[in-house]
Chains A and B, each alone.
Chain A
């Protein structure tokens, strides 16, 4: 005799399978109550069991999905010596069983079912499976309740056989599901181990999708990714060479999608695919086979679409089961995470490289500035340079031409960043090469323009520059400007800061530029300030400009002649920083100061002292000794 009950505790079981219908659910609860009454349960337990069976049955009917409504709901009760066990098997999508619920407010019309079950039963468990769920409820029996052991009511052999077959079938299904889930989990663990560890995206994708084909009994896959900054789906991996089709352009959101992959990308939802209903010319997935079916799943990382995964089978099979679909979606999520992670890493590496190169560029650019500046007895030069970015387009230079003359240069290449910095370097080199060819700044600017015009106009850029030739012994200067800010002449007396305007078009605007130079005396004691518009155009956090008027006013108050040039330079730089008050630098800033540091010496010979500068193309000259000077009144 086949006996599947425990010989010690032979439970008596009754089972009712009913259509997915509320009236039938109610009838089933009543039938099972009558069975339990026959087993000697007291009125209170009977009421509790009937109520919980009714509540569970109602939920099984009300929440069944379209496929579940065709399947019977099964309610079973088993009477053991110590407890009564109630089981309701439903075909709803299932839900997360809540923790201990509080009593719903008395004024709620619905929502008491789960609370009642939790309150009236001693133990409740909910098992959610593929397509079916079991609610298991247990209620302890009191001493008074009479248990009629199974021996008193012999189980019919046919009934036992039927129940055994059902049990075997259920266990078989559960074992298959367990096996499938275990394999899926192993594959997921393998992927998890690789997540974030590998930069070999292609290898990772192939391994993951190989596992997926095996798990879902699929025959083919196509993984398409959207390359950075492109609106295309490009094949990244495919199960067969024939499936490696051309890139698919992603049209605007509202346009009709010609293929399943584009459609999944645009709608960001799963799209089924059936080669028998598709137009082979417009559907690349038809290459999988004339009777292939499958689906396309969008790969999303948060809100970002990274690609699509198409997967399918040859022939008109049963399609993917609910479990297989779950695994496909899970793997698609893994892929999206890995792809987004790898791209992020690549971007970080790229950004670090760019930052490193910019840092090198900044060092080179700083090295191009003359440091220290040439010095002349009785005069001192000081420069300031600050870039809005790592590298910039402003620069200054000071070239000694003899022991008493020099050429001062300040230039501003249109724009900021690397392009501006490249032209700044070229311009600086050209000025250095041309400097000794003429002492006429206007002529030098004309030559510079001829040399730079073609390159500048080809990229639509221009340069403003100011060249000032200074003869310290004759105390005379000649200034020319290519669309640059005016030169500021410093002196003592009633009008100590004056502008010297010179006209000229910026370099790179006209093939033959027109430029006029002006000659002016250098005051005794005197000085000059050459600057770029980054000073006067600087904005504070209130949006206020620094302006030329403020610059001149500041110089009137702070410039002492003769005086320390480097101190004045530092004060002006601090003033500019203080004015910004934390607001970011919007444009590059450069200025060059020449001031008299001691009283002029008249006709006594000055020697030029040049500092060591490995970039210099000029012959080194002897260092001048400081000479005693008298201070003019």
Chain B
């Protein structure tokens, strides 16, 4: 997993999966990396082949942390695979995040 921050934007990429095995670690590392003046979190899911309910839970925790602890921070999910995109829609989590294809 790669975490970069460029001024106000935190970019996370190279996430092979978000499952019961790694989602807690993913959440904790991203939260630890959040700078004080954060405007945007972008999570690139192009390499994420698998997401389960724990992974969804971790994304939701970040959404809460971004909204509660650091003012209103936009959370954008980039390039999810069609299957992951379907899972977001099935669980209605696409209503919470901005999802974009680039």
Contacts and interface: CB of A to CB of B under 8 A. Distances in A.
A109 B20 contact: no
B73 to A, nearest CB: 16
Nearest to A110: B57
Interface size class of B (residues with CB under 8 A): 20 to 34
B interface: dominant SS: helix
Given A22-B20, A109-B61, A103 B92 contact: yes
B91 interface: yes
B50 A51 contact: yes
A76 B90 CA distance: 25
A44 B83 contact: yes
A523 interface: no
Interface stretch (A111-119, A270-278, A411-419, A474-482): A111-119
A96 interface: no
B52 A55 contact: yes
B74 interface: no
B8 interface: no
A23 B83 CA distance: 22
B90 A23 contact: no
Contact of B53 (A48, A50, A116): A116
B52 A51 contact: yes
A23 B92 contact: no
B90 A119 contact: yes
B95 interface: yes
B53 A110 contact: yes
B54 interface: yes
Interface in A49-69: 50-51, 54-55, 58
A516 interface: no
B96 A58 contact: no
Interface size class of A (residues with CB under 8 A): 20 to 34
Which of A47, A58, A104 is packed against the most chain B CB atoms within 10 Å? A47
A50 B19 CA distance: 11
Given A43-B83, A47-B83, A54-B20, A106 B93 contact: yes
Contacts, number: 63
Contacts of A112: 53, 56-57, 91
Interface in A86-137: 103-113, 115-116, 119-120
A25 interface: yes
B52 A58 contact: yes
A interface: dominant SS: helix
Contacts of A556: none
B55 to A, nearest CB: 10
B66 to A, nearest CB: 13
Contacts of A404: none
A22 B21 contact: yes
B87 interface: yes
B89 to A, nearest CB: 10
Interface in B81-102: 82-83, 86-87, 90-93, 95-96
Nearest to B88: A106
Contacts of B56: 112
A54 B19 contact: yes
Nearest to A58: B20
Contacts of A23: 21
Contacts of B95: 106
Interface of A: 22-23, 25-26, 43-44, 47-48, 50-51, 54-55, 58, 103-113, 115-116, 119-120
Interface of B: 19-21, 50-54, 56-57, 60-61, 82-83, 86-87, 90-93, 95-96
24 contacts: A23-B21, A26-B19, A26-B20, A26-B21, A43-B83, A44-B82, A47-B83, A48-B83, A51-B51, A54-B50, A54-B52, A58-B20, A58-B54, A103-B91, A103-B92, A105-B92, A106-B60, A106-B91, A106-B93, A107-B96, A111-B53, A112-B56, A113-B53, A119-B90
